[in-house]
Amino acid sequence: MTRGICILGATGSIGKSTLDVLARHPERFRVLVLTANGRVDEMAELCRQHRPKLAVMRDPAAAQRLRERLADLPDIEVGGGEEALCAAVDYPGVQEVMAAIVGAAGLLPTLAAVRAGKKIYLANKECLVMAGELFMEEVRRHGVTLLPIDSEHNAIFQCFGDERGVRRIILTASGGPFRETPLANLAQVTPEQACAHPNWVMGRKISVDSATMMNKGLEVIEARWLFDLSVDRISVLIHPQSIIHSMVEYLDGSVLAQLGNPDMRTPIAHALAYPERIDSGVSSLDLARGPALQFQEPDLQRFPCLALAFEALAGGSAATAVLNAANEIAVQAFLDGKLPFLGIPRVVAATLEVYQPQRPADLPAVMAIDAEARIRAQQQIPLAGAA
Ligand code: NAD
Ligand code: MG
């Protein structure tokens, strides 16, 4: 029996890696639904290749263009808009959903999938940064299985045995493209330099997050909710080669690590097949010929975003929602050439400073905090040193 899959964010880096793994196992999986934001050409190509039953573009105008492009494939239904995106997760036959939209935009469709009782593969970490407590409550209420795709969290999941014996988890981080750039040069770095990650090819937002190390901060918050651990039991270690994807330390001193070549098809295949194992297309790790493995403490002066994420986590659910929204605004402004790289932590810090809402009791409250934090963060951009 094949399992019906919906991919939210099919045109992205995770979406495409997922399709690559799924195409290797047609006897197990059937791609039923693909969604994307606005990239019609890429979506049309994916539809021709994978033949879903439904394709949804969040942008309704893009949906109309896709409909015209796929006129010769009447079996593929095309939908458009926010509502169609949330409905797509419950299309007939869909049992499992890959949540791979980037940013806060993924929260509502991913929650719709949780509420529809689907098995969730979670790449979209911003869902948990924005609304971790409420999101995990919904996961429990609907009894859904949630499997982590983020390579660190997937590694920890693989190394988790008896949770009572865990002393701490250690999230590894490459340190990104600017790990050794002289601090004085960071003021001038461009979006192209920031997006040129040494080990991973990823979407632009997460690439900038990796360069600031906000990505690791978001992952600390993600781990806090996924594994129900207090922040003092989560540490971060720089490991430039990205071969060890994370570790779990036990009370007896044992440390279990998951290793592999840096290719997201490994955690994707792990989660899709769990508890079995399937081929992902990733080559064998050659430790003898590969680079020596190195480790160092993260430098919080170089990476103030990591410190801001720890502070927000200590501040509670409202603060992490503000952190996420302010970061999304700052990263977009940097990518648009409207904010220097060093302005990103300034915008996030200033927004956290000026806007300290109450703990959100429900989802509408989270959405309201997100919207207000975006306005406040926009206001900080000219003050944080316009590019
Ligand atoms: P990406 O930018 O390559 O792709 C994002 C996808 O989301 C695209 O399909 C796009 O069409 C869709 N999208 C963007 N905005 C949208 C909106 N407003 N509404 C609906 N759809 C929208 O991003 P990515 O690198 O694939 O990352 C996706 C998620 O996975 C992020 O949360 C990221 O943090 C996480 N993640 C990515 C990697 C990686 O290696 N790329 C690793 C770990 C975690
Ligand atoms: Mg990661």
The contacts of residue 141 (CB under 8 Å, 6+ apart) are none
Contact in structure between 125 and 222 (CB atoms under 8 Å):
yes
Q: Report the residue among 7, 56, 86, 101 best suited for mutation to probe ligand 1: largest number of ligand atoms under 8 A from its CB.
A: 101
User: Rounded to two decimals, what is the model's pTM?
Assistant: 0.98
Contact in structure between 308 and 349 (CB atoms under 8 Å):
yes
Q: What's the rounded mean pLDDT across residues 209-226?
A: 98
Q: What's the rounded mean pLDDT across residues 84-102?
A: 98
Residue 38 and residue 236: Cα distance in Å, rounded? Answer: 35
- Tell me the pLDDT of the chain averaged across its residues: 97
Q: What's the rounded mean pLDDT across residues 169-192?
A: 96
User: Residue 124 CA: which ligand is closest?
Assistant: 1
Q: What is the pLDDT of residues 129-150, one digit of tens each?
A: 999 999 999 999 999 999 999 9
Is residue 90 predicted with pLDDT exceeding 80? yes
Q: Is 268 in the pocket of ligand 1 (CB under 6 A)?
A: no
Is residue 271 predicted with pLDDT exceeding 90? yes
Domains for the chain: give ranges and CATH numbers. Answer: 3-148 (3.40.50.720), 150-261+287-313 (no CATH), 316-387 (1.10.1740.10)
Q: Report the residue among 13, 102, 152 best suited for mutation to probe ligand 1: largest number of ligand atoms under 8 A from its CB.
A: 102
C-beta atoms surrounding 14 within 10 Å: 28
Give per-residue burial for 28-39: e unless 16+ CB within 10 Å, then b. ebbbbbbbbbeb
Contact in structure between 2 and 27 (CB atoms under 8 Å):
yes
Contact in structure between 212 and 196 (CB atoms under 8 Å):
no
Residue 58 and residue 293: Cα distance in Å, rounded? Answer: 42
Is residue 279 predicted with pLDDT exceeding 60? yes
Report the atom number in ligand 1 closest to the C-alpha of 109: 20
Is residue 200 predicted with pLDDT exceeding 90? no
Distance 200 CA to ligand 2 centre (A): 10
Tokens describing residue 313: 């986590």
pLDDT band at residue 387 using 50, 70 and 90 as cut-offs = low
pLDDT at 385: 77
Q: What is the pLDDT of residues 288-333, one digit of tens each?
A: 999 999 999 999 999 999 999 999 999 999 999 999 999 999 999 9
pLDDT band at residue 57 using 50, 70 and 90 as cut-offs = very high
Q: Which residue CA neighbors atom 31 of ligand 1 most closely?
A: 102
Q: Which residue CA neighbors atom 39 of ligand 1 most closely?
A: 202
Q: Is 12 in the pocket of ligand 1 (CB under 6 A)?
A: yes
Residue 226 and residue 261: Cα distance in Å, rounded? Answer: 24
Rounded (10°) angle between helices 214-226 and 317-335: 150
Distance 354 CA to ligand 1 centre (A): 29
Is residue 180 predicted with pLDDT exceeding 60? yes
pLDDT at 386: 58
Q: What is the DSSP string of 129-185?
A: HHHHHHHHHHHHHTT--EEE-SHHHHHHHHH---GGGEEEEEEEE---TTSSS-GGG
Give per-residue burial for 61-99: e unless 16+ CB within 10 Å, then b. ebbebbbebbeeeeebbbbbeeebbbbbbbbeebebbbb
Q: What's the rounded mean pLDDT across residues 167-183?
A: 97
Q: Is 13 in the pocket of ligand 1 (CB under 6 A)?
A: yes
Q: Is 376 in the pocket of ligand 1 (CB under 6 A)?
A: no
Give per-residue burial for 310-334: e unless 16+ CB within 10 Å, then b. bebbeeebbbbbbbbbbbbbbbbbb
Q: Is 126 in the pocket of ligand 1 (CB under 6 A)?
A: yes
Taking the CA of residue 333 as centre, how many other CA atoms within 13 Å lie in the half-sphere pointing to its CB? 29
pLDDT at 80: 98
Q: What's the rounded mean pLDDT across residues 345-372?
A: 98
Residue with tokens 């094949």, as numbered in its chain:
2
pLDDT band at residue 162 using 50, 70 and 90 as cut-offs = confident
Report the atom number in ligand 1 closest to the C-alpha of 264: 40
